[in-house]
Amino acid sequence: MVFTPTLTGYVARGFLLATLLVMAALIGLVALFDFIELLRRAATRPDVGYAVPLEIAAMRLPFVALQILPFAILLGGIIAFWRLTRSSELIVARAAGISAWGFLTGPLVVAVLLGMLGTFGISPISSALLARAERLDMTFLRTGGGLSSLAGGRLWLRQADRALEPQGVAIISGRPVAMRDGTDPLPRGPRFELQEVTIWRLSADDRPLARLEAPRARLIDGAWVMEEAVSFGADRMAGPPARVSLPTELTPDRIQDSFASPETLDFWALPRFIAVLEEAGFSAVRHRIQFQSLLALPVLALGMALLAAGFSMRQTRRGGVAQMIGGGVAAGFALFVLDRVSNEMGEAGSLPVLLAAWAPALAGLLLALALLLHLEDG
């Protein structure tokens, strides 16, 4: 394989420019429709002006960019490679003895770097802004949302409880204290409180060990603090009211995040949050799939770049250019459908997490490699 740095850099610059232009166009289009939808919802709220929908739409832009990045690479690559083929530049390069693998090195490196930028750079920004956008949406545009609408207004939590048994667990039920401003009753911050609290303390095999009932429980410095708590032993005999402190690894932010979408969590914080979530008894399948999908993003970007090359480097004198480009777009859409289906099956437990997250990226990469090998060496 002949490697020419000048030609590789030239093709890589064209690929990067086309990808960025397509990405900007797609982000603008999606943001416009999102803003229009937010305006429609805000029209029923006389106290909400244009500023809130505009702020929500603006804070969703990094999330939109992360979602459309693979398709921007695919479409930008198709445009860039088709222009080079139409101008016969790639034909001349091949006539000079340079194979497709030689001048594709630059674009493939660019695609992988864009995928890594999305995973390690855009993702943390996207999660922080998306979380704020969802809180604004919940506060100003939604009705009857929030965690207070679950289970008749009661919140159910599960956590480790090693005080009575090394592998014990505690089931906590209570009503979150609503904030005075009418926002979601689980605010992010150092304070969290439940009313009408009942705590079941169980063994590892779900055998009842004790029960606590208290009018109020506050989450303070890594412990549930209850005043005038009544304790019931295994014999159901009630003890005198007393102050009880139950250690916990839960925090207000972790409780809120456990009910929020995984996209609102920072990529770098996901592994630790998954461990705490599972130890507290919550399901972390969606968060695991989100973490593995972000890890697979560079591979997916590489596959999209290879697909773009395979579907757009056909010589124009052979005809069928429109069909080839349409096939590339259809392949990208098929990978999107496969990604949605595999994620849903993974969340339902029908597929292992790794398979659900990595299947679309690996399928796109293998399909692209097969197509290029057929066109170049077959």
Pairwise CA distance, residues 111 & 90, whole Å: 19
Answer yes or no: is pLDDT of 225 > 70: yes
Cβ atoms within 10 Å of 358's Cβ, excluding its own? 19
* SS3 state of residue 147: helix
* Most confident among 195-209, 287-301, 315-329 (mean pLDDT): 287-301
**313 is written with which tokens?**
């480097």
The reported pTM is: 0.77
The pLDDT tens digits of the residues spanning 18-54 come to: 999 999 999 999 999 999 999 988 888 888 888 899 9
What pLDDT digit, counting tens, does each position of 144-166 carry? Answer: 444 444 545 678 888 888 888 88
Question: Exposure pattern of 265-296 as b/e (b: 16+ CB <10 Å)?
Answer: bebeebeebbebbeebebebbebbbbbbbbbb
How would residue 181 be classed by pLDDT, with cut points 50, 70 and 90?
A: very low
Closest CA to 107 of 68, 81, 72, 70: 81
The average confidence (pLDDT) of the chain is 83
* 328-362 per-position pLDDT tens digit: 788 888 888 888 899 889 988 888 999 999 998 99
